[in-house]
Chain A
Amino acid sequence: MLTLDGLHIRQGSFELKADLSIGQGRKVAVIGPSGAGKSTLLGALGGFVDIVAGRMICAGEDMAKAPPGARPIAMLFQDNNMFPHLTIRQNVGLGLRSNLRLSAKDEQQVQTAIDRVGLSGLEGRRPAALSGGQQSRAALARVLVQNKPLLLLDEPFAALGPALRQEMLDLVKDLVAETGATLLMVTHAPEDVARIADDVVFVDEGRAQAPVPAAELMANPPPALRAYLGS
């Protein structure tokens, strides 16, 4: 579904290379030490970090040259996932129509997504009037209406407490199961990997390694990963 072919990213003196392939509908955790380039990898996929060479084939097409909005990707960042001056309904609606010209059918779809993530009745509020967990739910409602084949999560739930974060991961798991999207998520926590991931991409020393089945890897981590996990 996603193939990174000779991908080479350079940011100043930082370099990252990736040659890997991820199957349709897989849920992949991207782990690695701080500063290894996990967010940079997702940034390159999203179109925010320049690549020096290589191809990024997603859904059969090389998207390396496409602008961020034209890629078959929905992405949530660490923060700023909502426009604070717009209502939840408008924020979700932007996932469907970037000019917010919503038909009655679109409105219905937006409402359905809001209901699906459990925010019924809150659609008229602005993000600041919602709790952290509710804001995450709203962002996921937008991901739902965006209906893109690839979902990138760059630690959007990092600021939530452990229980809330697990709740969100369960919701993400359900949503990608419903839409059939492929998931790529950055995480620091081994328990997140156990909870949601089929595969793990380990990023270290300038390389994003090919995905390995999560259970297998976590049960028997190679030395570098063992050093990172500290167990």
Chain B
Amino acid sequence: MNERIHPTRRRVLQGLAGAAALNALPLRAQAGEPLKIGLILPMTGPFASTGKQVSAACRLYVQRNGDTVAGRKVDLIVKDDAGVPDTTKRIAQELVVQDKVHVLAGFGLTPLALATAPVATEAKVPMIVMVAATAIIPTRSPFIVRSGFTLPQVTGPVADWAAKNKIRRVYTMVTDYGPGLDAEKAFHARFKAAGGEIVESVRTPLANPDFGPFVQKVKDKAPDALFVFVPSGQGLAVMKQFEERGLRQAGIRMIGTGDVTDDDLLESMGPPAVGVITSFHYSAAHDSPENKAYVDAFGKANGGLRPNFHSVGGYDGMHLIYEAVKKTGGKGSGEELVNAMKGMSWTSPRGPVTIDPTARDVVQTVYLREVKMVGGKPWNVEFDKFDNVKPQEG
């Protein structure tokens, strides 16, 4: 019986596949039509906290700035990719084909952004990378604009600080994927240039790491400081091991990029985190009226949750989209929206931010911070800053 249906079936399918492939995708925005933003984030799985922060920040932006922009109603479509690249890409394709979204946003990890980049290029839809922080991402599609940060950008200042503060021998521990390798490279280059010595460097796995043995090896080497990069969500586990294995008592300091003292987890880390020095682009304790209002509103809308650096990437990403839509009078095509975003400057809760027009990446102030107890809770208190740090600086 298969001989009877098979050839016909194939011929019919061939014809239809050809016809369907010819369908063009009508994506040019119309004034007055709803503005659809497809927000793809890991809402479940090990990186769910990132999805929660970013989606909360995006909703907050809509709540504070109104759900219409340039006469268009904003329709935020949140989808969960659980951190799996082929799911992210599939959701992006579906958002473009079925929902006809005008902007894709989110992207919780580097591989998720890299997998989706060709979709943005083919569909000519702006792709706002709010989270993923490997330096190369915007080079993968002319439609990518980043609202978060890059690792080389935030790593340099703490390397300089360490070299100036009698830290000679550093052990580095980074997560074994794009951003971690970026951080390692940037730290090694800057710290060695400033005359420091890298005792040893180790890479921890991205999925379900057990930091115990790694931290123990660090203790055995007795460096002046341990430089740490881990993705948002893993900082607590590192801090626990650091404390339990008595590295602080052994006179080893912890330094790193701000991911390790993530505001999302800092309260649960408690006193052991005190004294950790990090460099980063955002602290919930940043002293500015914009940030105070942001932290208050974010906490109120989310049961007292403290916004972290990923949330601010989401919030500023929404700002980019809103402003670009306004600038193009509510009827910009994907290309026009991306062009409108290039060179845009504004004051974000994190401080002054500019989108580099050629790199489509974020130029921002990077702060040095120390964890201190303020009002009985640990905060990343800023004590120095470096203005206009470029995304590729390291």
> A and B, one complex?
no
Q: Which B positions have Cβ atoms within 8 angstroms of A?
A: none
